[in-house]
């Protein structure tokens, strides 16, 4: 801030924020044309920590490690207890050579080639998740583009085209084209006279023609216009046979039945809009980088069994997983990032309200399956698929092609299933081998004759059988938000909860980090007031 | 091919092609569900070349070098004459430290940091350009994703929003949302009863609601639904203030006036659909890689002045650009890739028809301007733009952010102008310094207070002043195609033309390569028949 008053836009906004409160601030930002796409305001200001004050952090996931990192920087004495033998929590990549074990004992020795991986949890980062992007930069995590939208990828519906997958490109072109033609027709039929003037209708028709690749008669039909988007039956070329041959759009009924509109919408959702990122070498590189920042502060293999906050301190009892020895750790305050499904089973000395909140929020399940393939055949010949996602209404829901190493030799790992809801419990109930076999069977609809044939090794993770989370992520609804959310995030004497479950960006790393920053900011305030 | 008959799909198609001709072939491919997206069928089969037969190739652009490479592999004695002192032609990157001179003498010493570059010609490769992708792989050119679509990039129209740029994300969301709402309304108003049954109308409304992010009343309006695509006024966060605040859609009139529909259409055009590529280190890496394949066969600095094909051979007269010495080269055949605007000024011994064809096709102009910036401020703070293109109706037409090195430190080069038509001639008429100043002025509409302020160095290239092309690329129209195209591509006794101008994929490297493969295949046949 300039001594003579606020001079930068940020200063002005800060001044408005201080003077008029949050609602005035957001109104001003909107007026200035900058809708806020993040609540991240930079690393927290935790100045003035009392010398010797200590914080115990439960969980070395991203929320816990960020809390420890920032509190440590501010002068707090910090210790982390972590159940796993590694940092990262759900931020994690399973590599070739790894061994993983789910609840129930199913153990997989991962046969992927060295360096190949499955991201069982998070796998992509939106551009507007500023907190995770900020700390990736700060902690030296190299990022590369994650290819979300690939128009050449496939869309499969058992209810359209006799179950034959079609290109996103063709379906999306035909969807837009038909919508444009129909709306143009409605304008001509005066079906929208109440909604617009004739002049506006004419203007809109010009726009619809260009947007929908319509011909000069406002028809979406076989010809050069539509083919420029959906592709040609014979592509343009060079020399004597260079002239292209147009393609014929699909019947609109089939296009609607393919549910391409839902796939388009998914790509347009703010959380999946281009540009997206992934860390070079696997999502787990983030957990590892955070881990390096809190090195020496983490007690791994520690299973928390009891959290007490009587007597002006927090005392946590935990079991050393390897030896079974019971130990305790003590601090002035506690940041607890343990997932709610596990926390609800731990003896917790907290308000009735907080305990009710913890018990009120169920967790979703998801199973992800990685399938390593000998070669990148999907990039070759007439496939031409470089990254992106092919969607299906089969239980696997999608297969996703690697966004990196494009055009290189194999082997490479396809995400062979990303299951939700009932399908995920069905997959979770199978052996790892059976999951892989089923995923190969279902996914081969996209690449018949190649998919199973090129398979080399599989890996999977069922979050409902994940010992350190007992589920995928917290599932709030309108009612539980109203009744329990503010209680869940409130500092409860000496304890504050953090994690994606304590945010409105559930299931995303960004939610975990923003929750953590908010929690430690308030805990710090509480500590100063003590 | 299997001895017992065709067994693979490719074999079957080849057999059909041989038996029934091209139209049956394409029909079969479509029936089998594989619309051909390329005419590339792999490297050409040029077997049986006569020992000692020779070919003179004019031009070491991609078409010329590919011809020389494949003909050389087939056993022909090949020599290339090239005007420039480097391989690549229009495939070219201008790097920091380079010196470039346009017709008229304007010389630029490029002040970019080492490794930074401007691609004055081609800058992106579509996934379906199989020929260029094939040879990139064959010649070891590393590729990386080119980010074409970035929903966070900006769209500026002087005719909407008082000239204030808006996010593609918000405009595209509001376009789709309003189109969906209007079409839903038209269905309700029975304005489309002639086009669909009530049942189909109901089904379509369900689809429109999801695709257009409409609320349960089929309205596109302020609320959680629309905000999930266009963004929130206050983003979701963690902790006590985690709840998001929805945003308000723009007035549809402004959205239509912004011409976002044209920008969306541009991204949906098959040639600009995701996934796209660029070579690591600049587009010119392709020209260099091709150059290595024909090393020792290229006579650089050779300006062709006369092409004669009397006496059973082709004799080409050229001037050594450095010394002014006049020399000749002789071969049995000639592949001429010299751009038509230059070829029309060379004394050419060919049929009247070919000469008329050469004279009939005008060339477009384009000016590209690179602006190096101290830092990647567009990726920071509230900008969040990682790659992609911001569009404007100002003469610069767009600015494009680097697709690579995302999230790294500066300096980095923005494509600050990609001009067409009259605007390009205006820019071509300016000094390089004036172009850069004008591009900075116009582009600052997107990043006021940062754009000029972060500028470090500029570079530009005006294709109308390019000594080796005299323009950007060939502009065919329906009439010239009909009258001249087949004559232009026909083997004219011992000479055949190749290049993007001899293809239906004008202005693309793919057109140059496919033209070259077709030309040498026919020239080879001609040589065998001789």
CB B511 within 8 A of CB B75: no
pLDDT digits (tens, 9 = 90+) for A178-190: 999 999 999 999 9
Give me Rg for the CA atoms of chain A: 27
- The answer, yes or no, to whether ipTM is higher than 0.95 is no
Report the alpha-carbon distance of residue B62 to residue B44 in Å, rounded. 16
Question: What pairing do the DSSP bridges indicate for beta strands A367-373 and B117-118?
Answer: unpaired
Strands (E), B229-349: 276-279, 298-299, 302-308, 314-320, 326-331, 333-336, 347-348
Mutate which: A24, A30, A35, vs B, most B CBs within 10 A: A35
For B119, phi then psi, to 5°, come to -90, 100
The pLDDT of B340-368, averaged and rounded, is 98
pLDDT digits (tens, 9 = 90+) for A446-465: 999 999 999 999 999 999 99
CA A425 to chain centre: 20
DSSP output for B496-521: EE-SGGGBSSTTSHHHHHHHHHHHHH
The first and second tokens of residue A299, run together, are 């007690």
Shortest CB distance from A275 goes to which of B128, B150, B256?
B150
Strand partners, B415: B370, B400
Shortest CB distance from B502 goes to which of A30, A137, A238?
A238
CB A280 within 8 A of CB A143: yes
pLDDT, chain B, mean:
93
Q: What is the crossing angle of helices B509-529 and B62-73, to 10°?
A: 40
B383-386 long-range contacts (CB < 8 A, ≥24 apart) are B383/B447, B384/A37, B384/A127, B384/A128, B384/A130, B384/B152, B385/A127, B385/B150, B385/B152, B385/B153, B385/B154, B386/A127, B386/A145, B386/A275, B386/A277, B386/B147, B386/B150, B386/B152
> Does the pLDDT value for residue B4 go beyond 50?
no
Which residue in chain A has the smallest CA separation from B170? A270
Shortest Cα distance, chain B CAs vs residue A399, angstroms: 16
For B203, phi then psi, to 5°, come to -65, -40
Which residue in chain B has the smallest CA separation from A405? B144
pLDDT digits (tens, 9 = 90+) for B190-237: 989 888 999 999 999 999 999 999 999 999 999 999 999 999 999 999
A150 in contact with B, Cβ within 8 Å: yes
Report the alpha-carbon distance of residue A273 to residue B170 in Å, rounded. 12
The first and second tokens of residue B346, run together, are 């060379």
Kindly determine whether residue A273 and residue B127, on different chains, have CB atoms separated by under 8 Å: no
Tell me the pTM. Answer: 0.93
Shortest CB distance from B195 goes to which of A169, A185, A518?
A185
Shortest Cα distance, chain A CAs vs residue B433, angstroms: 30
Kindly determine whether residue B203 and residue A256, on different chains, have CB atoms separated by under 8 Å: yes
- Residue A404's CB is within 10 A of a number of other CB atoms, namely 17
- Interface list for B 240-279 with A (CB within 8 A): 240-245, 247, 253, 256, 259, 261-262, 264-265, 268-270, 273-275, 277
Q: Identify the pLDDT of residue B451.
A: 98
- Which positions ≥6 away from A479 have C-beta within 8 Å? none
Report the alpha-carbon distance of residue A203 to residue A198 in Å, rounded. 9
- Interface list for A 394-453 with B (CB within 8 A): 403, 406-407
How far, in Å, are A236, A267, B179, B191, B223 from residue B215 at the CA level? 43, 18, 14, 22, 8
Residues in chain B: 530
The pLDDT of B494-512, averaged and rounded, is 98
CB A94 within 8 A of CB A370: yes
Element (H, E) at B343: helix B340-343
> Does the pLDDT value for residue A3 go beyond 60?
no
- Interface list for B 12-71 with A (CB within 8 A): 22, 26, 29-30, 33-39
Shortest CB distance from A384 goes to which of B37, B204, B245?
B37
DSSP output for A218-261: S---TTHHHHHHH--SB---BGGG---B---PPPHHHHHHTTHH
Shortest CB distance from A183 goes to which of B186, B238, B262?
B186
pLDDT digits (tens, 9 = 90+) for B174-191: 999 999 999 999 999 998
Residues of B in contact with A38 (CB under 8 A): 235, 237
The first and second tokens of residue A137, run together, are 């930069």
pLDDT digits (tens, 9 = 90+) for A268-300: 999 999 999 999 999 999 999 999 999 999 999
Interface contacts A/B by beta carbons within 8 Å: 362
Q: What is the crossing angle of helices B509-529 and B130-138, to 10°?
A: 80
Pick the range with the lowest mean pLDDT from A380-389, B385-394, B443-452: A380-389
pLDDT, chain A, mean:
93
Q: Identify the pLDDT of residue A26.
A: 42
Kindly determine whether residue A127 and residue B384, on different chains, have CB atoms separated by under 8 Å: yes
> Does the pLDDT value for residue B41 go beyond 70?
yes
- Interface list for B 509-528 with A (CB within 8 A): 511-519, 522
Shortest Cα distance, chain B CAs vs residue A154, angstroms: 12
> Does the pLDDT value for residue B34 go beyond 50?
no
Q: Identify the pLDDT of residue A36.
A: 62
Kindly determine whether residue A39 and residue B259, on different chains, have CB atoms separated by under 8 Å: no
CB B434 within 8 A of CB B440: no
pLDDT digits (tens, 9 = 90+) for A200-213: 999 999 999 999 99
The pLDDT of B477-504, averaged and rounded, is 98
pLDDT bin (cut points 50, 70, 90) of residue B38 is confident
> Does the pLDDT value for residue B7 go beyond 70?
no
pLDDT digits (tens, 9 = 90+) for B117-161: 999 999 999 999 999 999 999 999 999 999 999 999 999 999 999
pLDDT bin (cut points 50, 70, 90) of residue B36 is low
Kindly determine whether residue A211 and residue B262, on different chains, have CB atoms separated by under 8 Å: yes
Residues of B in contact with A243 (CB under 8 A): 481, 504
């Amino acid at each position: 801030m300039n001594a003579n008053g606020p001079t930068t836009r940020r200063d002005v906004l800060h001044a408005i924020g201080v003077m008029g409160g949050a609602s005035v601030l957001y109104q001003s930002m909107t007026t200035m044309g900058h809708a806020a796409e993040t609540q991240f305001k930079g690393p927290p200001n935790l100045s003035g920590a009392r010398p010797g004050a200590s914080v115990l952090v439960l969980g070395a996931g991203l929320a816990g490690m960020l809390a420890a990192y920032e509190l440590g920087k501010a002068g707090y004495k910090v210790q982390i207890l972590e159940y796993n033998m590694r940092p990262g929590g759900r931020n994690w990549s399973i590599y070739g050579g790894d061994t993983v074990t789910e609840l129930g004992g199913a153990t997989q020795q991962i046969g992927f080639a060295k360096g190949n991986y499955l991201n069982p949890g998070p796998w992509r980062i939106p551009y507007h998740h500023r907190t995770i992007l900020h700390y990736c930069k700060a902690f030296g995590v190299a990022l590369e583009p994650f290819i979300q939208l690939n128009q050449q990828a496939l869309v499969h519906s058992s209810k359209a085209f006799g179950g034959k997958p079609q290109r996103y490109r063709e379906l999306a072109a035909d969807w837009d084209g038909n919508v444009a033609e129909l709306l143009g027709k409605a304008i001509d039929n005066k079906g929208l006279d109440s909604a617009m003037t004739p002049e506006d209708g004419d203007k809109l028709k010009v726009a619809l023609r260009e947007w929908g690749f319509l011909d000069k008669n406002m028809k979406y039909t076989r010809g050069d216009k539509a083919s420029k988007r959906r592709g040609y039956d014979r592509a343009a070329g060079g020399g004597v046979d260079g002239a292209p041959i147009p393609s014929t759009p699909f019947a609109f009924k089939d296009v609607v039945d393919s549910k391409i509109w839902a796939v388009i919408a998914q790509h347009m959702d703010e959380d999946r809009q281009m540009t997206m990122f992934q860390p070079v070498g696997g999502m787990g590189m983030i957990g590892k980088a955070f881990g390096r920042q809190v090195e020496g502060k983490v007690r791994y293999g520690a299973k928390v069994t009891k959290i007490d906050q009587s007597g002006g301190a927090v005392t946590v009892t935990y079991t050393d997983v390897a030896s079974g020895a019971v130990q305790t750790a003590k601090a002035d305050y506690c940041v607890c990032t343990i997932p709610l499904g596990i926390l609800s089973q731990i003896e917790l000395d907290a308000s009735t309200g907080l305990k009710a909140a913890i018990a009120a929020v169920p967790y979703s399940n998801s199973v992800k399956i990685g399938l390593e393939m000998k070669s990148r055949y999907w990039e070759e010949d007439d496939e031409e698929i470089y990254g992106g996602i092919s969607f299906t209404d089969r239980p696997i829901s999608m297969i996703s092609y690697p966004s990196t190493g494009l055009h290189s030799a194999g082997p490479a790992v396809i995400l062979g299933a990303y299951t939700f809801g009932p399908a995920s419990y069905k997959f979770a109930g199978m052996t790892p081998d059976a999951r892989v076999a089923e995923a190969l069977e279902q996914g081969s609809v996209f690449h018949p004759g190649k998919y199973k044939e090129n398979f080399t090794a599989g890996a999977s993770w069922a979050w409902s059988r994940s010992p350190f989370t007992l589920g995928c992520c917290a599932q709030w609804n309108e009612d539980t938000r109203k009744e329990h959310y503010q209680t869940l995030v409130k500092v409860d004497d000496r304890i504050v909860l953090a994690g994606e479950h304590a945010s409105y960006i559930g299931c995303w790393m960004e939610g975990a980090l923003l929750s953590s920053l908010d929690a430690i900011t308030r805990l710090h305030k509480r500590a100063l007031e003590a």
